Amino acid sequence: MIRTVLIGAGSGASYFLAGLEKLKAREIQPVGIPLVNYMKAHRPEDIDVVAVYDVDNSKVGRDMYSIASKLSPFSSVPRTLKDIVVSRGLHCGSLRGLDVDASGLEDALGSPQQALEEFISELVKLKPDVIVNVITTEPMRFVESEGEFVKLASTCSAGATLAYAYAASEYSLRTGNPVAFINLTPPAAANSPGVVSRFERAGALVLGDDAATGATPLTADLLEHMAERGRRVLSVAQFNIGGNTDFLSLTEPERNHSKEVTKSSMVADILGYDAPHYIRPTGYLEPLGDRKFVAMHIEYESFGGFRDEVIVNARINDKSNLAGLMASIVPVAKSLLERGVHGSYATVNRFYMKMPGPRGTKNISKIVAYQDLLKELKKLDII
Amino acid sequence: MIRTVLIGAGSGASYFLAGLEKLKAREIQPVGIPLVNYMKAHRPEDIDVVAVYDVDNSKVGRDMYSIASKLSPFSSVPRTLKDIVVSRGLHCGSLRGLDVDASGLEDALGSPQQALEEFISELVKLKPDVIVNVITTEPMRFVESEGEFVKLASTCSAGATLAYAYAASEYSLRTGNPVAFINLTPPAAANSPGVVSRFERAGALVLGDDAATGATPLTADLLEHMAERGRRVLSVAQFNIGGNTDFLSLTEPERNHSKEVTKSSMVADILGYDAPHYIRPTGYLEPLGDRKFVAMHIEYESFGGFRDEVIVNARINDKSNLAGLMASIVPVAKSLLERGVHGSYATVNRFYMKMPGPRGTKNISKIVAYQDLLKELKKLDII
Amino acid sequence: MIRTVLIGAGSGASYFLAGLEKLKAREIQPVGIPLVNYMKAHRPEDIDVVAVYDVDNSKVGRDMYSIASKLSPFSSVPRTLKDIVVSRGLHCGSLRGLDVDASGLEDALGSPQQALEEFISELVKLKPDVIVNVITTEPMRFVESEGEFVKLASTCSAGATLAYAYAASEYSLRTGNPVAFINLTPPAAANSPGVVSRFERAGALVLGDDAATGATPLTADLLEHMAERGRRVLSVAQFNIGGNTDFLSLTEPERNHSKEVTKSSMVADILGYDAPHYIRPTGYLEPLGDRKFVAMHIEYESFGGFRDEVIVNARINDKSNLAGLMASIVPVAKSLLERGVHGSYATVNRFYMKMPGPRGTKNISKIVAYQDLLKELKKLDII
Amino acid sequence: MIRTVLIGAGSGASYFLAGLEKLKAREIQPVGIPLVNYMKAHRPEDIDVVAVYDVDNSKVGRDMYSIASKLSPFSSVPRTLKDIVVSRGLHCGSLRGLDVDASGLEDALGSPQQALEEFISELVKLKPDVIVNVITTEPMRFVESEGEFVKLASTCSAGATLAYAYAASEYSLRTGNPVAFINLTPPAAANSPGVVSRFERAGALVLGDDAATGATPLTADLLEHMAERGRRVLSVAQFNIGGNTDFLSLTEPERNHSKEVTKSSMVADILGYDAPHYIRPTGYLEPLGDRKFVAMHIEYESFGGFRDEVIVNARINDKSNLAGLMASIVPVAKSLLERGVHGSYATVNRFYMKMPGPRGTKNISKIVAYQDLLKELKKLDII
Ligand SMILES: NC(=O)c1ccc[n+]([C@@H]2O[C@H](COP(=O)([O-])OP(=O)(O)OC[C@H]3O[C@@H](n4cnc5c(N)ncnc54)[C@H](O)[C@@H]3O)[C@@H](O)[C@H]2O)c1
Ligand SMILES: NC(=O)c1ccc[n+]([C@@H]2O[C@H](COP(=O)([O-])OP(=O)(O)OC[C@H]3O[C@@H](n4cnc5c(N)ncnc54)[C@H](O)[C@@H]3O)[C@@H](O)[C@H]2O)c1
Ligand SMILES: NC(=O)c1ccc[n+]([C@@H]2O[C@H](COP(=O)([O-])OP(=O)(O)OC[C@H]3O[C@@H](n4cnc5c(N)ncnc54)[C@H](O)[C@@H]3O)[C@@H](O)[C@H]2O)c1
Ligand SMILES: NC(=O)c1ccc[n+]([C@@H]2O[C@H](COP(=O)([O-])OP(=O)(O)OC[C@H]3O[C@@H](n4cnc5c(N)ncnc54)[C@H](O)[C@@H]3O)[C@@H](O)[C@H]2O)c1
Ligand SMILES: [Mg+2]
Ligand SMILES: [Mg+2]
Ligand SMILES: [Mg+2]
Ligand SMILES: [Mg+2]
């Protein structure tokens, strides 16, 4: 079993939990899970979600069956999710400015420090192997040194994602049980040198940042396709619009910018020059729900000075994609821990993440990243 | 210098020649040429086109400046092309059923055998390193054994492409100068065991079949992208419509089928199962000219049983793409010859071709094929 | 009540019947039915389907509940359809060349003449107000004179659609009860002078030809949009691919050509010049089912000689669209009969049909046709 | 001749002037000009641009040949434009916040009042028939009463568009020569009751607001197409991205909102209910230049509860479209003046404008608006 803690009881967590239960019950086939046909050491079915944390007062204390039923309306939700009740996590202002009634352990206990101690002591009881962060997108933040990380995170001054990362590293340091902290959201965890060196020291693993699903990895592979043909990309435009709370929160300029950074990090890396681009979440349109609409336009020059254009449109179940990625990376992370990998791990991040840490890691196309990943996981006897 | 013979004085040849001259004159940059930034041994600028063959009576005897000016109207054509005059080649019925006044050497000389002898003796004078076949798409044909190849090709009974391939192999056998025959059209040259073993024996090289440009390699990479995420592809539709003689000839059912075969060969290979697909040149629409319109639809299932859709539309200068590919594969072929490679060469074919020979070679995605190619060409000290 | 006979127990009929029952049961709202909010004289809910005819041996004798359950899998089918059992109709070779085991009344009774007499006598018992023809697309046919119509149709020599039209006119002539024959398929009923003058004489009404749903009316309105801005349309490409038996039958060249004719009839009419176009059903791809994929490309010149491009992609539930149109035109046809309209009726055909009869009727854009229709139906006190 | 003053020497003005000269010289055909084939009273070739105003210091004092050569790079610019030199207009803060070095007459003369007097006295000398406002998009503003209009506009407190409109009305009042002020930009001129009643009193004409070109009128006609079929539109998303200063200025939230208002005004009007929508200029991407990229997604419900989707992508020469519209509305406006039309004129606005004045005018689809326009202009003997 892979003891797993989810941070954020939102759509991503709901699709993941619903799908996982169906997978275990063999109601669905293992479709949409990268590497699933190769996995030897651990598999998605081994994942055991031991706790889910949130700070939305309408979710804390409720069970994941009722939450998922609302958030994932088009798929039937397994009743086994009634057993998972949402616990109160650390707020650290992550929902500030959004229309959510939220309070964190720090509100209940009086200070961030006490909240963190409480959260760490809960981890000690939960004995997680893997902690997955899928909370609301926060503004982009980097921490340069371990000292800065400890100082800011332990006082909730660098947002919730980094506070949870800090708690994860503390848990590993204190118990000697290495944990993998997987940050599927934009703020720089695996991209912050201070965070990575703390995990390094703790013998623990931090993977991130920002799950690569949907239009962004597709764009990466399209750009690689162009680059390999020697084409000169003239411009890239990519629009995303959806109707869930993820998109709603991204209408806030600071949070939007956070996504823009992770989504755009690939262009120069893959092409070798910074082709003009406009890539960001564009808007919120409620009826689209979790099935976002994507439009992309790429114009390029080919041999002899001619201009070609490629337009991509897509309807994508964003949360299904995210959940499939979770079902893949959790067993991989557990296997890496068992093989003694710590700090961060670029090869894994490059495939699963939009902005792969640790800092300095170049984005490469996803297809190339996948080939590398296959090779390294085979070497490590994980697949 | 790479002494190069072109078979087919059509749009592909025209864009290639016009671009090449501009490249040599440094009027354009080496954009749209795969591998160009890596090439060490030989480069596009080293290509010297020593002859161009055709059988269209309105082209034979005319110079490539006047031909290209008509076929490549949107780019200025270099006047140096006045020096290349089109010679009469072998017809072997390749234009039968199309509205072209054509006659081959066999019509002038009385028999296919005499025509072939004449053509071979011209090759002896031209001393080509590389022969590039870009004639009108012919119906799909395979030859199983060397005997069958010699028998059918030498009597013009297997179409023009195979007749030219036969002449190339004979030239190599008789002179001891190995030549590379690059088949950029659908009929099975590199995919015919009989052809490959003849080239093998001659110490010569046959590459093919059907240049991978435009929507097909893009589809290959999109399918790989889906496969790596464990998605189940439910259907693939791909339409192509253009306004040049290439598309016009593909309105003939037999020729169209030929393209359908090469274009569709990848689906099962890349996905591992034969997802239902409709992939073929769809029609002719004169005003589109060489800038074809492509529409593609892919529907797939992702984690939890959800359905996503990706739609791709493109405007593609088909001949610019083909010409850029020619500018890349000719120097590579010359280098391979120099390193003693003979028979066919799957690693090269897998990147440059839609249906990579020799028979039994699986299609893989183009991005993966490119990574392999980089590695092997480095090993051979070509790049 | 509007006594209605359906010819063709296929997908169109199934979606229509299923939707109609739900509408009557108020399970769905009257969405997707043109004019429904205006209708005064008769409404969709008044439609009473008194018989359905087919010649597919796997359908004749079965009830519409079991047939619709197979053909319209994504919507629950009302059990009231169990009461409608499919009768055997006239074959007249309409399914020839397709993989269907079919036989018509002529096979049972020995001759087309006897079959027609039998069919007419059944009509006499059924007392239909409206007969709707939605059988498999047949090759395009025109009949010039009444004499030719009577001669060919009464011997099954002009296909099934015209045979049914003939029976309808005979029924009206013999009983004095005028019937409306609505031809939703391509063969020229309302576009054949011979047919129209026969209906004229019988005091009956023939509407047609080929229901305008999906991409074709959309293209009409897009072309009008271009024309009103004085743009010069350079080319129009329109692809359609679907996965039902309608599309399967259209893979036959003759039937495909039939659709191409009706679909293309609008270009010159609306633009005033025959812009080069490629508009036809393109292929069959089973997993797409009734939800076809459409791709369209329009290039045009605008002020100052600049070129613009519009690309339309769509997923369309073709049969839902057809059924909604049926639910609209049947009450309109009944009302027209009551107001003494006979022969054919261009104003109605121009909105509802791809190739509006009677011959000589110009196609106009659907939006303009709709405005005209509103006005005339108001004048006739129908809406 | 139609004496015409242009306000704003930007891309729109440049394409218009360049095209107009070519049209007069018969170098191009009258393509892309609505109604051009009907015009009797006045025609585009009759337009005589007697002055162009701007406040960008890099443009004032320069001739339109040099300005247009920079702004309309892909079309050759007629040298006759050398004769048109840009005059300094009223700034009224219209470029505030943008990176342009601008100053208006009020900066030179010390006060808005003096600037307006100067501008009006220049109009007195120019004797314009038509004044066309194509300046940078300003934030949305409405003025309710004539008093408010006079007070705010005469002190430059309601933006430049309203100041120019005020000057136009004053010119008409003082000289008795009625002028037509055509506002092709978003701020409410024809939509402000105070403005319309002032023009009414002056016997002059104000048309507006915001020229209907590109994706917005197309969306209007698509929505009408849906509405006529009784479909229920579930959501509408429309993205626009371009690379000129028009798009650059629209990255400012206030100006963007201004466009959002005019672009969105049609949804509820045409559908009869306010379907959820996201319609606005989305971003700036320099390499796209004047040829913007548009992506649109419409999802709707059709008969029986099925869901269809239509996606539109387009590349549109926005300024060519605007210029063609100018070439059409100027002669129409002149003709209307001659027939004594004053105040505003809904029938014209409904076709040419995104948010047709006067206030209370419902948006209708463009195709319907065009039919109405044809009728009324015929009645007025203008076409
Ligand atoms: N394909 C994808 O959906 C995708 C891809 C990449 C990244 N992501 C990221 O995944 C994250 C989650 O997406 P989602 O759709 O599930 O969002 P969501 O809005 O449905 O759910 C987020 C949940 O996090 C909770 N939360 C917020 N702050 C918290 C805190 N401090 N502690 C605990 N819980 C907190 C919220 O209350 C909410 O329940 C986002 O950051 C998004 O950027 C998603
Ligand atoms: N991107 C691409 O354009 C692309 C991609 C893959 C393959 N191809 C293949 O390239 C080939 C050429 O394309 P194109 O656009 O230049 O076509 P084209 O129609 O412009 O030219 C073909 C030329 O070949 C000549 N020809 C025909 N039979 C001949 C013979 N027996 N001997 C000598 N010449 C002969 C014709 O007369 C014509 O001049 C086609 O087979 C096409 O399938 C093109
Ligand atoms: N949106 C649309 O679907 C659309 C639009 C315009 C026109 N149409 C036309 O509607 C027709 C029906 O479409 P569908 O999808 O229901 O097709 P379908 O293939 O599902 O059904 C056609 C039915 O007609 C029956 N049939 C064939 N010949 C017959 C005969 N001689 N007598 C009685 N029945 C006969 C077949 O057995 C079959 O059951 C086609 O002609 C199509 O071109 C459809
Ligand atoms: N298809 C279209 O392009 C389209 C459609 C509808 C509306 N419009 C509107 O047309 C307007 C002009 O578009 P464009 O592309 O020409 O813009 P542009 O940015 O190229 O030009 C605008 C010009 O106006 C000038 N200007 C700004 N304030 C001024 C003032 N107070 N007095 C005089 N000149 C002033 C600027 O200096 C600039 O030269 C915009 O408001 C836009 O919203 C354009
Ligand atoms: Mg994404
Ligand atoms: Mg191709
Ligand atoms: Mg259709
Ligand atoms: Mg617009």
CATH number at residue C123: 3.40.50.720
Same domain (yes/no): B44, B125: yes
CB atoms within 10 A of CB C68: 25
CB atoms within 10 A of CB D381: 10
Cis amide bond preceding B209, omega within 30: yes
Residue D241 sits at the chain A interface (C-beta within 8 Å)? yes
Same domain (yes/no): D119, D73: yes
Residues D36, D18: Cα–Cα separation, whole Å: 18
Asked which of B265, B295, B317 is the last residue of a domain, the reply is: B317
At A277, list the tokens: 């681009």
Give how far the C-alpha of residue D274 lies from the chain's centroid of Cα atoms, to the nearest Å. 25
Give the mean pLDDT of A152-176: 97
At A32, is the secondary structure helix, strand, or coil?
Answer: coil
Same domain (yes/no): B199, B50: yes
* Pairing outcome for strands B205-207 and B180-183: parallel
What are residue D231's DSSP bridge partners? Answer: none
Same domain (yes/no): D327, D294: no
Residues B173, C224: Cα–Cα separation, whole Å: 65
Q: Are D318 and D291 in contact (CB under 8 A)?
A: yes
Q: Do B288 and C282 touch (CB under 8 A)?
A: no
- 3-state SS string over B9-53? CCHHHHHHHHHHHHHHCCCCCCCCCCCCCCCCCCCHHHEEEEEEE
Asked which of B317, B346, B370 is the last residue of a domain, the reply is: B317
Q: Are B259 and B354 in contact (CB under 8 A)?
A: no
Residues C357, C349: Cα–Cα separation, whole Å: 6
CA quadruple C30, C215, C264, D370: dihedral, nearest 10: 70
CB atoms within 10 A of CB D70: 13
Q: How far is A280 from chain D (nearest CA, A)?
A: 10
From the CA of B299, how far away is ligand 5's center (Å)? 18
Cross-chain CB nearest to B299 (options C234, C237, C287): C287
Same domain (yes/no): A269, A311: yes
Predicted ipTM of the assembly: 0.96
Residues B108, B92: Cα–Cα separation, whole Å: 13
Classify residue B59 by burial, with Cβ atoms within 10 Å: 0-12, 13-18, 19+: buried
Same domain (yes/no): A203, A344: yes
Residues A162, A371: Cα–Cα separation, whole Å: 31
Q: Are C195 and C338 in contact (CB under 8 A)?
A: no
Asked which of D317, D333, D363 is the last residue of a domain, the reply is: D317
Residues B134, D180: Cα–Cα separation, whole Å: 62
Region of poorest pLDDT, from A74-78, C201-205, C291-295, D366-370: A74-78
DSSP H/E element including D60:
none
Best residue of B306, B317, B321 to probe chain A, by most A CBs closer than 10 Å? B306
Residues B205, B202: Cα–Cα separation, whole Å: 8
Same domain (yes/no): D138, D253: no
Residue by residue, DSSP assigns B216-228 as HHHHHHHHHHHHH
* Pairing outcome for strands D291-302 and D232-242: antiparallel
Cross-chain CB nearest to B287 (options C288, C295, C299): C299
Backbone angles phi, psi at D354, to 5 degrees: -75, -40
Q: Is the pTM of this model over 0.95?
A: yes
pLDDT exceeds cutoff 90 at A70: no
Best residue of A22, A229, A322 to probe chain B, by most B CBs closer than 10 Å? A229
pLDDT of residue A73: 66
pLDDT exceeds cutoff 70 at C73: no
- Nearest by Cα to C154 from C169, C141, C142: C169
Query: Average pLDDT of each block of 10 consecutive residues along chain B (383 residues)?
Result: 97 96 95 96 96 98 94 79 96 96 97 98 98 97 96 96 98 97 97 98 97 95 98 97 93 88 89 95 94 98 96 97 98 98 98 97 97 97 95
Q: Do A229 and B34 touch (CB under 8 A)?
A: yes
Q: Are D2 and D48 in contact (CB under 8 A)?
A: yes
Give the mean pLDDT of A321-348: 98
* Pairing outcome for strands C277-284 and C232-242: parallel
Q: Which residues contact B195 (CB under 8 A, 6 or more apart)?
A: B143, B149, B162, B165, B169, B188, B189, B206
- CB of A322 sitting under 6 A from ligand 1: yes
Question: Measured at the alpha carbon of residue D151, what is the angle toward residues D145 and D156, in degrees to the nearest 5?
Answer: 120
Helix axes A159-175, A112-126, angle to 10 degrees: 50
CB atoms within 10 A of CB A252: 16
Residues having C-beta closer than 5 Å to ion ligand 8: D 214-216
Which of ligand 4's atoms lies nearest the C-alpha of D13? 16
Backbone angles phi, psi at A280, to 5 degrees: -170, 160
pLDDT of residue A74: 61
Find chains touching chain B: ≥3 CB pairs under 8 Å.
A, C
What are residue D356's DSSP bridge partners? Answer: none
Q: How far is A230 from chain D (nearest CA, A)?
A: 19
DSSP H/E element including C50:
strand C47-54
What residue type is assigned to position D18 of the chain?
Answer: A
Q: How far is A145 from chain B (nearest CA, A)?
A: 35
From the CA of A64, how far away is ligand 1's center (Å)? 15
Same domain (yes/no): A302, A343: no
pLDDT exceeds cutoff 70 at C75: no
The CATH number linked to D240 is 3.30.360.10
What residue type is assigned to position D277 of the chain?
Answer: H
Same domain (yes/no): B32, B142: yes
Give the mean pLDDT of A267-272: 96
Residues C76, D306: Cα–Cα separation, whole Å: 12
pLDDT of residue A75: 67
Alpha helices in chain D (DSSP H): 11-24, 64-71, 105-109, 112-126, 146-153, 159-175, 193-202, 215-228, 245-249, 253-264, 266-271, 318-338, 346-352, 366-379
Residues C347, C330: Cα–Cα separation, whole Å: 15
Q: Which residues contact A93 (CB under 8 A, 6 or more apart)?
A: A156, A159, A160
pLDDT of residue B300: 98
- Nearest by Cα to B277 from B287, B266, B286, B289: B266
- Nearest by Cα to C366 from C272, C230, C256, C269: C269
Alpha helices in D206-317 (DSSP H): 215-228, 245-249, 253-264, 266-271
- What is the average pLDDT value for chain A, to the nearest integer? 96
Cross-chain CB nearest to A287 (options D283, D284, D299): D299
How is the beta sheet containing C306-317 ordered, strand by strand?
C277-284, C232-242, C291-302, C306-317, D306-317, D291-302, D232-242, D277-284
pLDDT of residue D76: 82
pLDDT of residue D273: 96
Q: Are A197 and A146 in contact (CB under 8 A)?
A: yes
Same domain (yes/no): B34, B111: yes
Count of the separate structural domains present in chain D: 2
Which of ligand 2's atoms lies nearest the C-alpha of B250? 43
- Nearest by Cα to D184 from D49, D60, D364, D323: D323
Q: Do A235 and D276 touch (CB under 8 A)?
A: no
Domain interval for residue D164:
2-211+320-379
pLDDT exceeds cutoff 80 at C74: no
Residues lining ligand 2, Cβ inside 6 A: B 7-13, 53-56, 59, 89-92, 94-95, 134-137, 160, 184-186, 210-211, 213-214, 244-246, 318-319, 321-322
Q: Are B180 and B205 in contact (CB under 8 A)?
A: yes
Please report which ligand is nearest the Cα atom of C302: 4
- Locate the DSSP E strands across C271-366: 277-284, 291-302, 306-317
Q: What is the pLDDT of residues A124-136, one digit of tens each?
A: 999 999 999 999 9
pLDDT of residue D73: 67
Which of ligand 3's atoms lies nearest the C-alpha of C250? 43
DSSP H/E element including B138:
none
Classify residue D332 by burial, with Cβ atoms within 10 Å: 0-12, 13-18, 19+: buried
A-D Cβ pairs (cutoff 8 Å, strict): 70
- Nearest by Cα to C77 from C28, C38, C29: C28
pLDDT of residue B343: 98
pLDDT of residue B265: 81
Please report which ligand is nearest the Cα atom of C355: 3
- CB of A131 sitting under 6 A from ligand 1: no
pLDDT exceeds cutoff 70 at C244: yes
Cross-chain CB nearest to A313 (options D234, D282, D311): D311
Q: Which residues contact C319 (CB under 8 A, 6 or more apart)?
A: C11, C12, C14, C15, C72, C244, C290
- Nearest by Cα to B336 from B123, B224, B214, B179: B179
Low-confidence ranges of chain D (pLDDT < 70): 73-75
Q: What is the pLDDT of residues B120-169, one digit of tens each?
A: 999 999 999 999 999 999 999 899 999 999 999 999 999 999 999 999 99
B309 vs C contacts (CB less than 8 Å)? 315
How is the beta sheet containing A47-54 ordered, strand by strand?
A86-88, A47-54, A2-7, A130-133, A180-183, A205-207
Residues D148, D150: Cα–Cα separation, whole Å: 6
What residue type is assigned to position C151 of the chain?
Answer: K
What residue type is assigned to position C58 of the chain?
Answer: S
- What is the average pLDDT value for chain B, to the nearest integer? 96
pLDDT exceeds cutoff 70 at C135: yes
Q: What is the pLDDT of residues B222-231, one digit of tens each?
A: 999 999 999 9
Same domain (yes/no): A236, A299: yes
Cis amide bond preceding D46, omega within 30: no
At B121, is the secondary structure helix, strand, or coil?
Answer: helix
Residues D325, C304: Cα–Cα separation, whole Å: 12
Same domain (yes/no): D101, D89: yes
